[in-house]
Structure 1
Amino acid sequence: FRRVGTSVRRPRGLNQLSGMGTLWSQERPPEEGQSTEQSRWWAMARRLIMAVLLLGLLLGSSVLLFYIFRSCGPRPCERPMCWHLLDHYLASGNTSVAPCTDFFSFSCGKAKGTSNSFQALAEENKSRLRRILETPGSWHLGSGEEKAFQFYNSCMDTSAIEAAGAGPLRQVIEELGGWPISGNWTSLDFNRTLRLLMSQYGHFPFFRAYLGPHPHPPHTPVIQIDQPEFDIPLKQEQEQKIYAQIVREYLTYLNQLGTLLGGDPDKVQEHAFLSISITSQLFQFLRPLGQQQAQGKLFQLITIDQLQEMAPAIDWLSCLQATFTPMSLSPSQTIVVHDLDYLKDMSQLVEKQLLSHRDFLQSHMIFGLVGTLSPALDSKFQEAHRSLNQKLWELTERPPVPAHPRWMKCVEDTGDFFEPTLAALFVREAFSPSTRSAAMDLFTAIKDALITRLRRVPWMDEETRKKAQDRVTQLQVKMGGPEWAMEPALARQKYSDVHLGPSFLQSFLSGIRSRQARIVHSSLQPFLHHRWQVSPWRVNAYYSITDHVVVFPAGLLQPPFFHPAYPRAVNFGAAGSIMARELLHIFDQLLLPGGCPACDTHALEGALLCLERHYAAFPLYGVTSFNSSHTVLENAADMGALAMALQAYNKMLLWHRGETTLPNLGLTPQQLFFRSYAQVMCSKLSTQDSQDTHSPPTLRVHGPLSNIPAFARHFHCPRGALLNPSERCQLW
């Protein structure tokens, strides 16, 4: 029986089974009675729709994954600066050459024009200065900017210079007492003429006098007396035939100068020959730098009074006081003398000439002054000087002085005489705060790589390693321009001591005096910061031992070496390797014999020997003479710098995504890094200068690259290829 209000439930499965027959036997409603063919059609349609949806889902996922992976990988840099850099690389490289056997030609094989990448950049910086100076109305009236622009325009006004002819120069000669060859000469006191030449015209016919750092701490500026600079390319050991031809060409040049100034031809030739004779004798008094170093006489500290006793022909106190006004000098003033023996011999020669041929000494000084001032004179004087350079090049095979356009010489002179103004203008235009920030980030990455790398230098002892790391940590870095160049107000200095006109020569001479006064005045001021040795538009980085400062001028951190918009591979490979090289020069002393007594000298000597053998394995393309003993320190810096820059670049890739590469160049970021390093070294192949401390450009590319296993890996170089040797060196 059952309770009221309750029901008995059967299991669910039983109900379904018992009712199954009745369900399928009942007649279907009219709408369910469609034909089997129609049902099959609907089933196929459903399957097709599902397939289309599934295919769309797969395609959409693939596209999404493609864009995800594409955003993670290197993208082509489409900015204008990258396209300009691409054009530069395509114009200089020769990609038909196998990179594993001749990467220098691969990168630089079609480079034309200037002799090297640094010179090309220097000329581009001068072009930028030219654009600044030729922009009308971009200066403040009555300021130093306006005076600088006026000087530049006066230099470019060749019509006025040609119209003036030799007149302004004749006026200068009259102020010096005249010239014996013209028949109008007042025999003035020799030292009075010399004093005027040094102080008013910046000409030093018998020696050089300049302000340089004291050889001992605190390295304050001190007067230095050095050998003179000769316009004739004489050598200590020279064939008699070549010597006679050089003298003949120089005699022709001096005859031209005398004729242009209206001198009697016979007298001109006589005085020109005796002037060359004086130059030749002075040259014979010189001692090679190596001989001075061997004798421990690179410099000597003596007083002016002592120098007066040893070389009495020169009134040293009056000449130096006039040159370095407003310094207050006395006979007890200490100065630095280079090659004291030369000064003694020079004094004896001058005394001898004063007794017998005082007029020849006058002519010798005038000839030298005219040669110095020739760039500020009309085209006849400039052509005579250009012709002399061409003839001397043919005789001595020394590189000829390139014939630059007029605007380039005018930019250089304006920069020399108005450096504070042009420095501020150049830094403001070429080195923005964002550029400086990016350059500082790059330097920090390179410096960190050096500190890390010092931990693994095998030949260093722990104490030396710790001191080396501290040196790097304490290093100061200066970028762009000196502190005063960052102040816009300094660009508008008055330059009240610069007097322009009425002739360009007078403006030029006024600029010489103003520059000298500025140098002396700066040396007298207490200076808390490093004194820059280069102008901001130059391309010379350097390390100052005295201040423990590394300097990178704005002119160096420019395309094609550096730009914030470039792929990071370019900046690390080019500018980064330059920065690393300067940092390694801090430790040059350690690599010299006895420079690191506590180090593992056996391991160090082995690394240096390995380095020497490594560089000796490469052929010297087009270089007829090369002394590897002079390049050891630079080779070590080149090799270590590339390794440091690559280490810093690889670390950057771990922490920063979104690397780019140059479009249409076909190089991965790592390959672009090595290409950018080589691009810095692009240079014409020529005879190696015996005094050059760098290896030929091919070795500066192949030596470091072949020592980096990553280069061979990224360019797929077979084992045993020139740039994938079986042995490598570890110095830094």
Structure 2
Amino acid sequence: MSRLLTTASLLTLAGCATSQPASQTAAAASTPAAPVAAAPVLPGVGLNPNDLDRSVSPCDDFYQYSGGNWLRNNPLPGYATRWGPRNLLGERTQLLLRQILEDAAANPAAPKGSNPQKVGDYYAAGMDTVAIEAAGLKYLQPELARIAAVKDAKSLTDVMARQLMLGTGAFFRGAVEVDEKNSTAYTIGLSQGGLTLPDRDYYFKDDARTQTIRTAYRQYLTNLFGLLGDNATTARKNAATVERIETRLAKASRSRVELRDPQANYNKMPLATAQQRFPNLNLPRLLTDVDLAKAQEVNVGQPAFFAELSNTLKAEPLADLKTYMRWHLVRSVAGALPKAYVDESFRFAQVLTGAKQQTTRWKRLLASTDNTLGEAFGQLYVDKAFSPAAKAKALEMVANIKESMADHIQTNTWMSDATKAEALKKLNALRVKVGYPDVWKDYSALTITRDSYVKNLLAAREWDYRQNAKKYGGPIDRNEWGMTPSTINAYYNPPMNEIVFPAGYLQPPFFDPNADDAVNYGAIGGVMGHEMTHGFDDQGRQYDSQGNLRDWWTKADGEEFTKRAAIVGRQYDAFSPLDSVHVNGKLTMGENLADFAGLTVVYGALEKQLQKKYGANPRPLYDGFTPEQRFFLSWAQLRRSNIRPEALRQQILTDPHSPDQYRTIGPLMNMPQFYEAFGCQPGQKMVRTDADRAKIW
């Protein structure tokens, strides 16, 4: 996963009965590479052979072969739009997190200001639906009143600043962030936003599916304004107002593919210049309102968007801008309001994603607590769920994978010595974070009570914004994490040149200390290699060893990389999971390259590990599979998932990750190591010809 989040149990694949080698039992499969003579055959841990669909050849469709039975036996629950091992791990993790929350909520005597008090009161307030219904909009009224009181351009700026501080999503996004061309300092970044629909293209496309979504969007707008007290005519008028303003902003927004260009998104300018170019934002006043009065410059990510936003603020009637802000305020906190607001939000989500039923309330509150009090909650979690031994093992694996990546750089056949030296410098400077932060966030300035869920939510957002603003002008905080400890995910952060693996990910089936190396390297190792090689994908390669946006490639090497990456793009453009719907190879380029390179690098690390462990001795067969076969099976089995068609369409339009089936087979189709492991021959569907094969590292 890249840093643009932009974002998941009962699954413990324990010991299984011995079976025949995978490639011998699959229909129409070729003869596999012969195992070493006298290799011991042992029961395995971490993979379940019963999940395989042996009616399919691994060399024709490895996704179906590796998990077809599992896919049939694990249909989507009504509340889920996608269902795979990450969700199952999430279910198990949630049970522990729920117990932590309920224990904290059941202890009203916890010391005031302590993490257990804050976490327990936040959760208790959110679960108290009787109090939420009785309060109605009482605790939101102060913010609604601010909007209603806007009477001129200056007061509009003040309320826009308040919206930014409360994270409502109105108009644009702004934050203190690492300066990408001077990674030892912070800057203020402004970027496009202000939309309700998931992507700008939803406002313009005219296919039947998009029209259905826009109809649901208009109904959502109208119904929510009705809940706020507007009569039917006024609600429809206000809905049309919001859609008109959002369409203006969408038209000026860059596409998701365009947003992948970090150079185009870097437009730092003096504040005076920004004020001249976007006068109606009144940035000096706005930044003063949000604790950034000392700002002398800003990085405007998408200048054309902000030019149109400035025009919009002048051209649109003040009453309409107030209507737009009222919508975004209420929409952004709908989950913390009475049931009618929650239900309206879910009805719209159903059309977008195909979900059949709402997630149960305690799970929604768990997610909200993690999102707003992540490290206070996280400290309670890691005390119960993450051992020092697990952290040590994970760090050892990362070190081995890093060593393999260095080998791949040094033996690269198309890269010059000068570029190799810079690449190795970047790899050696890579920071690795595992489990949880070395320094926890201090929540002492945040007040959380049992009075009101929405009041707590807004207080937490404001606190988080102010914490971010405090960084401006200070030293870079290299202890900061962008994910919470219980998160089942990982990321690479280019300006910090760091890879981060939260404790939540370091559990079975992704990471199992009892499993053999092949399974762990194929599972969490694949994730580690993926994140590490994000530093060398089409975006990450533009940042140097210190995280600065700087071209450190020779011209010839940069052109060769682009040529090789284009082959990957064309391969994914050809994948079509639904009629007339194709994967966008440009949008998914970075994630696909990280899958390709990461898997190749991790395979090399596994081979080194096996050599250290067994030398010339026979390598054991677990469940009848060679270590190499188990490596690829592990990679595939953790990427299997069932997904609703609506959610799949939305993923293809908006998500930089390819659908799971193509994340599984895409890299393997280009790996001779895979062909050898399963005895695949030219002409079979999983085998690409030399001319069609992509190779970067």
Give your verdict on TM over 0.5. yes
2:529 corresponding residue in structure 1:
580
> Aligned partners of 1:603 and 1:287: how far apart in 2?
27
Q: Could you tell me which of 497, 501, 509 is aligned with 2:446?
A: 497
Q: Is 1:683 equivalent to 2:641 in the alignment?
A: yes
Q: Is 1:337 equivalent to 2:305 in the alignment?
A: no
Offset of residue 482 of structure 1: 1.9
Q: Could you tell me which of 591, 601, 613 is aligned with 1:644?
A: 601
1:270 corresponding residue in structure 2:
237
Q: Is 1:216 equivalent to 2:181 in the alignment?
A: yes
Please give the per-residue CA displacement for 1:191-232, whole angstroms capped at 9, x wherever unaligned.
Answer: 343344334x33353222222222311353322222223114
Structure 2 contact 522–632 (Cα < 8 Å) conserved: yes
> Aligned partners of 2:308 and 2:152: how far apart in 1?
28
Larger radius of gyration between Structure 1 and Structure 2:
1
Offset of residue 443 of structure 1: 1.4
Please give the per-residue CA displacement for 1:632-668, whole angstroms capped at 9, x wherever unaligned.
Answer: 55444433333332222222223225999897x5434
Offset of residue 383 of structure 1: 1.0
Please give the per-residue CA displacement for 1:55-85, whole angstroms capped at 9, x wherever unaligned.
Answer: xxxxxxxxxxxxxx999835335xxxx4xx4
> Aligned partners of 1:306 and 1:606: how far apart in 2?
38
2:509 corresponding residue in structure 1:
560
Structure 2 residue identity aligned to 1:405: T
Q: How does 1:86-101 map to 2 (within 5 A)?
A: 86=47, 90=50, 92-101=51-60
> Aligned partners of 2:563 and 2:278: how far apart in 1?
49
Specify every segment of 5 or more residues in structure 1 that has no aligned partner in the other structure, as ranges.
1-68, 180-184
Please give the per-residue CA displacement for 1:534-570, whole angstroms capped at 9, x wherever unaligned.
Answer: 2222233333333332222222222211121222111
Structure 1 contact 133–152 (Cα < 8 Å) conserved: yes
> Aligned partners of 1:528 and 1:652: how far apart in 2?
35
1:141 corresponding residue in structure 2:
111
Q: How does 1:433-448 map to 2 (within 5 A)?
A: 433-448=388-403
What secondary structure, in the 3-state scheme, does the structure 2 residue paired with 1:218 have? strand
2:546 corresponding residue in structure 1:
none
Offset of residue 428 of structure 1: 2.8
TM-score by length of 2: 0.78
> Aligned partners of 2:330 and 2:666: how far apart in 1?
46
2:144 corresponding residue in structure 1:
173
Structure 1 contact 74–660 (Cα < 8 Å) conserved: no
Q: Could you tell me which of 372, 382, 390 is aligned with 1:427?
A: 382
2:66 corresponding residue in structure 1:
107
Counterparts in 2 of 1:260 and 1:418: CA distance versus 1, 3 Å: same
Structure 1 contact 476–550 (Cα < 8 Å) conserved: yes
Structure 2 residue identity aligned to 1:286: S
Counterparts in 2 of 1:458 and 1:494: CA distance versus 1, 3 Å: closer
Q: Could you tell me which of 164, 171, 174 is aligned with 1:198?
A: 164
Counterparts in 2 of 1:319 and 1:579: CA distance versus 1, 3 Å: same
2:271 corresponding residue in structure 1:
304
Q: Could you tell me which of 514, 528, 531 is aligned with 2:480?
A: 531
Counterparts in 2 of 1:352 and 1:588: CA distance versus 1, 3 Å: closer
Please give the per-residue CA displacement for 1:283-331, whole angstroms capped at 9, x wherever unaligned.
Answer: 33435466789997534223333333333333322322222x2x4435x
Which is helix-richer, 1 or 2?
1
Counterparts in 2 of 1:455 and 1:422: CA distance versus 1, 3 Å: same
> Aligned partners of 2:424 and 2:483: how far apart in 1?
28
Offset of residue 527 of structure 1: 4.0
Q: Is 1:261 equivalent to 2:228 in the alignment?
A: yes
1:63 corresponding residue in structure 2:
none
1:626 corresponding residue in structure 2:
583
Counterparts in 2 of 1:471 and 1:264: CA distance versus 1, 3 Å: closer
> Aligned partners of 1:637 and 1:208: how far apart in 2?
28
> Aligned partners of 2:358 and 2:506: how far apart in 1?
27
Q: Is 1:150 equivalent to 2:121 in the alignment?
A: yes
> Aligned partners of 2:345 and 2:457: how far apart in 1?
18
Structure 2 residue identity aligned to 1:141: P
> Aligned partners of 1:569 and 1:383: how far apart in 2?
46
Between stretches 285-294 and 119-128, larger displacement belongs to 285-294
Structure 2 residue identity aligned to 1:197: Q
Structure 1 residue identity aligned to 2:191: D
Q: How does 1:32-71 map to 2 (within 5 A)?
A: none
- Identity percentage over the alignment? 25
Please give the per-residue CA displacement for 1:373-394, whole angstroms capped at 9, x wherever unaligned.
Answer: 2111011011112223334x3x
Q: Could you tell me which of 409, 430, 442 is aligned with 2:364?
A: 409
Counterparts in 2 of 1:423 and 1:662: CA distance versus 1, 3 Å: farther
> Aligned partners of 1:495 and 1:528: how far apart in 2?
19
Q: Could you tell me which of 428, 444, 453 is aligned with 2:408?
A: 453
1:318 corresponding residue in structure 2:
285
1:471 corresponding residue in structure 2:
426
> Aligned partners of 2:514 and 2:103: how far apart in 1?
27
Q: How does 1:234-383 map to 2 (within 5 A)?
A: 235=201, 237-239=204-206, 249-288=216-255, 298-323=265-290, 325=291, 327-329=292-294, 333-353=296-316, 357-383=317-343
> Aligned partners of 2:126 and 2:493: how far apart in 1?
35
What secondary structure, in the 3-state scheme, does the structure 2 residue paired with 1:439 have? helix
> Aligned partners of 1:708 and 1:251: how far apart in 2?
48
> Aligned partners of 2:146 and 2:186: how far apart in 1?
32
Offset of residue 439 of structure 1: 0.8
What secondary structure, in the 3-state scheme, does the structure 2 residue paired with 1:273 have? helix
Counterparts in 2 of 1:444 and 1:163: CA distance versus 1, 3 Å: same
Structure 1 contact 308–315 (Cα < 8 Å) conserved: yes
Offset of residue 675 of structure 1: 0.6
Offset of residue 692 of structure 1: 4.6
Counterparts in 2 of 1:133 and 1:724: CA distance versus 1, 3 Å: same
> Aligned partners of 1:360 and 1:578: how far apart in 2?
47
Counterparts in 2 of 1:676 and 1:297: CA distance versus 1, 3 Å: closer
Counterparts in 2 of 1:196 and 1:94: CA distance versus 1, 3 Å: same
Offset of residue 151 of structure 1: 0.7
> Aligned partners of 1:115 and 1:533: how far apart in 2?
25
Counterparts in 2 of 1:207 and 1:654: CA distance versus 1, 3 Å: closer
Offset of residue 253 of structure 1: 2.9
Structure 1 contact 541–582 (Cα < 8 Å) conserved: yes
Structure 2 residue identity aligned to 1:106: Y
Offset of residue 240 of structure 1: 9.4
Please give the per-residue CA displacement for 1:147-178, whole angstroms capped at 9, x wherever unaligned.
Answer: 11111121112222123233433454235446
Please give the per-residue CA displacement for 1:592-632, whole angstroms capped at 9, x wherever unaligned.
Answer: 9x97437678986886677678778x875547313445555
Q: Is 1:481 equivalent to 2:449 in the alignment?
A: no
